[in-house]
Amino acid sequence: MSAAPISAGHEDVDRRRWFITIGIGLAVWVAQRLALIVAMALDGPVVSRLTRWDGRWYSAIAAGGYHWPNPMFGHTDPWISDLAFLPGLPALGRMIILVTGMSPHLAILIAAQMGFLTAAVVITAVGHRVAGPTAAVLLVACWGAAPRAVVESMGYTEGWFIALVGLGLLAILSGRWILAGTFVGVAGLFRASVAPVCIVLGIAWLTSLCTKAEAGQRWRRFIGMALSPLGLLTWFVIVAHRTGRWNGYLVVQKAWGSGMGTLLDTWEDLHSRIDHVPFDWRYIGLVALAWCMYLALGIVMAVRREQVWLTVYVLVTVIFVGHMQGYFNSKARFLLPAFPAFLPVARLLDRSPRWLQAVFVLVISAVSTWWSLDILGHNISP
């Protein structure tokens, strides 16, 4: 028997295993989402609660476009504009509205869920590539139950952002730097927090200058790095044109209370909240612990010598979120793109009995569902 048919047979088996792994990972993630929806249905309306907060703004943009300088939803500061919300998700929602005629709220929810479904597939694919099939399923299960995973069932833009960033990471793992930069560049049209991946691509280019990498490799890394911020920069230019200020996007973000600072600024913010009586553990304490958890997992990745670019990405993301100012209660949501942080947990469980893996997934899913219901029952956004 020749080597070629044997090789082709192995490829068919590997491809089949890949699709099976993706299917199982997606099924686990969907089950986590359905658990929350069923629990919500027993307690009241579903769609209206899943399209609150950011979903409300995205729905309005999808229906009527952006507004400047008119403030919305009762705000009086003219700089509190919907220009703070990037155009990726509203554009997809608008397409669904035009094709189906459905309501903006439902269109945004569907567009967002398409993104989260894609993200679950991509996360499973990343796990499968670096850790194997079982660890891949456990990785997406951990992400599906992570702090603030409630937004994975809502009209939020994180799904498409994480999917595109994850595709960029997959491209990095396979050495396709230009493709990686392209995916990250598109991700910048969904969320502004593309800096960690841009930094990873920048470090990759710098390391190629310090090593004996061939000229073509250096150029590919440079082009990937150059492409990565283009989506966000495009929106930056559009907002500058709409507002008449070169830094219009930054001014809009400042009006919303968002910006960058230092870790000391974040600590002082947390300390002031701790001193507040009564201290809200659900929105502040648990979020602070979530940041510490991601940091610890990133350090474990470094100690265990996980894939270097994934490790750098996680640590840069954690540090970046630590420097972000405003919306402290949302920091756990901002960390959802750091899904490779759960690789050490997935690898550890990969060596455990199947029953223990099942119990672990059930427990974290139940806790996540309870916390999600608690968040949806209050007025502070996740």
Tokens of 69: 């300088």
- Residue 342 banded pLDDT, cuts 50, 70, 90: very high
On average, the pLDDT of the chain sits at 92
Locus of tokens 């930094």: 199
d(CA 144, CA 25): 10
Q: What average pLDDT does this structure show over 13-24?
A: 90
Residues 367 and 257: their CA atoms lie apart, in Å, by: 31
Q: Which helix (H) or strand (E) holds 52?
A: none
pLDDT in tens, 312-338: 999 999 999 999 998 888 999 999 999
- CB neighbours of residue 42 within 10 Å: 8
The reported pLDDT for the residue numbered 278 is: 65
The pTM (predicted TM-score) of the whole model is 0.94
CA dist., res. 32 & res. 43, Å (int): 17
Q: What is the pLDDT of residue 12?
A: 65
Confidence label for 379 from pLDDT (cuts 50, 70 and 90): confident
pLDDT tens readout for residues 33-59: 999 999 999 988 899 999 999 999 999
pLDDT per residue as tens digits for the range 65-74: 998 766 555 5
b or e along 218-245 (b: 16 or more beta carbons within 10 Å of the residue's beta carbon)?
Answer: bebbbbbbbbbbbbbeebbeebbebbee
What average pLDDT does range 112-126 have in this prediction? 98
Torsion of CA 181, 182, 186, 192, to 10 degrees: 10
Write the pLDDT tens digit of every residue in 176-220.
999 999 999 999 999 999 999 999 999 999 999 988 778 889 999
C-beta pairs of 174-183 under 8 Å, 24+ apart in sequence: 177/201, 177/204, 177/220, 177/221, 177/223, 177/224, 177/225, 178/220, 178/223, 178/224, 178/227, 179/224, 180/224, 180/228, 181/223, 181/224, 181/225, 181/226, 181/227, 181/228, 182/224, 182/227
pLDDT score recorded for residue 10: 59
For residues 88 and 189, the answer to whether their CB atoms sit within 8 Å is yes
Rg (C-alpha) for the chain, rounded Å, is 21
Structure tokens at 239: 């907002």
70, 138 Cβ separation under 8 angstroms: no
Residue 300 phi, psi (nearest 5): -60, -40
Domain boundaries, the chain: 3-376
CA 189/CA 163 separation, integer angstroms: 13
Among 11-15, 197-201, 247-251, which stretch is predicted with the lowest mean pLDDT? Answer: 11-15
220-235 confidence digits (pLDDT tens): 999 999 999 999 999 9
Decide if pLDDT at 350 tops 70: yes
Distance in angstroms (rounded) separating the CA atoms of residues 335 and 382: 12
Does residue 295 carry a pLDDT above 60? yes
Contacts 24+ apart (CB under 8 A), 174-177: 177/201, 177/204, 177/220, 177/221, 177/223, 177/224, 177/225
Q: Which residue has the tokens 């670096």?
A: 130
Q: What is the rounded average pLDDT of the residues 72-101?
A: 86
